[in-house]
A and B are shown apart, each in its own frame.
Chain A
Amino acid sequence: MGRLVERIIVLFSWLSGAILLSVICAVTGYLCFKGLKTIGPALIFGSTDPMSALLLRQRVFDGLFPAMAGTLLLVLMSVGWAIPLGTAAGIYLAEYAGVKTKKIFDLLFDLLAGLPSIVIGLFGFSLTLFLNRHVSKELHPCLLLSSIALAFLILPYIIRTTQIALENLPMHNRLTGLAMGATRMQNLVHVLLPQALAGMVSGILLAIGRCAEDTAVIMLTGVVASAGVPRSVLSHYEALPFYIFYISSQYANQQELATGYGAAILLLFICLLLFGLAFVIKKNLPCQVFSQR
């Protein structure tokens, strides 16, 4: 009987592996089959001259340029909020927090990390309502508010990777600087942070990936299907993931649908690129050399 069970388990594991691999092949293969032929300058700039589109002289109507510009701005702004806040909080947790404080913060950050992105989006949306009512009638869902809401989405990732990168440094490493009379800050700046940097950067790259792919948050906080390149941080904007979502149900003709496939390939490529980059940086962690002993 034992032999049979073993056979079944082995067979089942191979079968699972095969299913997973065929699914991933089906997803990427189908996308490439349908969308690869659309890849080209026309996918991004449509019928507009690329140069005048880049210089914002001419608006692109039938290409992905506005969506890409929107996603880029969105990512830059969100990361701009989240990196200082997240790294500082991560450093506090790893280096300064007492046992009890750490427990409370840990729980809250786990909770923040676990919140569905639509809940963060709903928060961003209600924040907009609140600001609109109590601060300025001019405030509507916009790039600025989206970026703030997205920053909260990626904040726990950045906090965690910073914290883990610092806490994983070996103890003897931590004591070396202190034993020479370094203050905690000197030790942090000169010894610990340089060694934790690779881990922190790879975490940030993954966070950028999350920013670029998230759709639920921006859906509630100001993304629209057609807005052109955003003129200010207080205006509506387009974004790649939302464009893909929108096209999937609202496409008017085959050409729009083809652009949708192109956009999906593009987004997939961007996310995998960030993912690969994060991996390479993490693999070349300088402190690994140091802790090999």
Chain B
Amino acid sequence: MTATCERAVERLFFAAAFVSAFVTLFIFGFMVYYGLPLFSGGRFLAILTSHWAPHQGSFGIYPMIVGTLAISLLAMVFAFPLSMGCAILISVVSRGRLSRILRKVVEVMTGIPTVVYGFVGIFLLIPLVRNVFDAGSGMCVLSASLMLAVLVSPTMILFFCDSFDRVPRSYGHAVLALGGTRIQHFLHVTLPCAWPGIIVAVTMALGRAVGDTLIALMLAGNAVQAPDSVFDSARTLTSHIALVFAADNESLEFKAIFACGVSLYLFTTILVLMIRLAARARGKVGQVG
């Protein structure tokens, strides 16, 4: 193969990387362009904080932002302890075969389609919530958060386990040699060393929870209101896009979904930057070992 050919192929590889990277920025540009009338003259902030009342000419996405935060944060409240418990079970408490089987089950869970969770949620979880809490239709923040917690937990568990396993074994021998138990070792050695990994996992899971469309769309009831309690119906930014995109292309109502898109994009950017910061700290912890 000649040198010119080598260079040509290298350029081709670069072009592919460049196109892929460019698309990332292009997506942002496209959304800003389409939502343009809403973004000019400082109106973006106003949209974020005002209410949704299309008939009165108000296209604020504030209720959707509150709905998104409520559902995803509540999901994290359920998912974090559950994941931490499972990760401790897999990495610390159980051993050998049981640990391997549990890990496998969790891995398989990451492969279950979101829509399947949503589908089962409608017919199994919603009636349950309705009957247990006597909560209207049962389509509410709580139902969506519970299902979302199940959706994001497996990834979080695997990441926790990975962070625990990365802490060098030699650290542990010191504690165990002093007569410490495995749990003591975990609390005093593993956990302090693994915290950057835990932050990365939680941030990633939060991103997943905020970005997920189907669970909230199917289970949260989609009422445009800032929910007051966990039994209120709510609409997320993602569901809002899915519900309104078919509106008249020229209307401001339609333009407002690009405000949702831009908000989600910016939120993702912040999370990715946070993950990178935490991951850098994680790398440093690894280096010490």
Contacts and interface: CB of A to CB of B under 8 A. Distances in A.
Contacts of A245: 115, 118-119, 214, 218
B21 A184 contact: no
Interface string B242-282: 10010001000000011001001100110110011000000
Given A17-B86, A17-B102, A96-B14, A119 B123 contact: no
B199 interface: no
Contact of B245 (A19, A125, A127): A125
Contacts of A123: 27, 30-31, 261
A104 B82 CA distance: 36
Q: A9, A130, A272 — which one has the most chain B CB atoms within 10 A of its CB? A: A9
B24 A108 contact: yes
Contact of B16 (A31, A88, A209, A248): A88
A117 B153 CA distance: 19
Interface stretch (A20-28, A47-55, A61-69): A20-28
Contacts of A185: 1, 5-6, 9
Grouping DSSP codes into helix (H, G, I), strand (E, B) and loop, the A interface class, with mixed when no group exceeds half, is helix
A29 to B, nearest CB: 10
B77 interface: no
B178 interface: no
Contacts of B276: 107, 110
A260 interface: yes
Interface stretch (A172-180, A212-220, A226-234): A212-220
B112 A268 contact: yes
A222 B67 CA distance: 27
A14 B92 CA distance: 11
A56 interface: no
Nearest to B106: A20
22 contacts: A6-B183, A12-B81, A14-B89, A15-B85, A16-B89, A17-B86, A31-B119, A85-B19, A88-B13, A88-B15, A96-B10, A96-B14, A104-B21, A115-B268, A118-B213, A126-B34, A152-B27, A185-B5, A185-B9, A241-B113, A244-B115, A279-B107
Given A12-B88, A16-B83, A220-B245, 12 more contacts: A2-B184, A16-B81, A20-B82, A89-B19, A92-B17, A111-B272, A114-B211, A116-B213, A118-B264, A185-B1, A248-B218, A268-B116
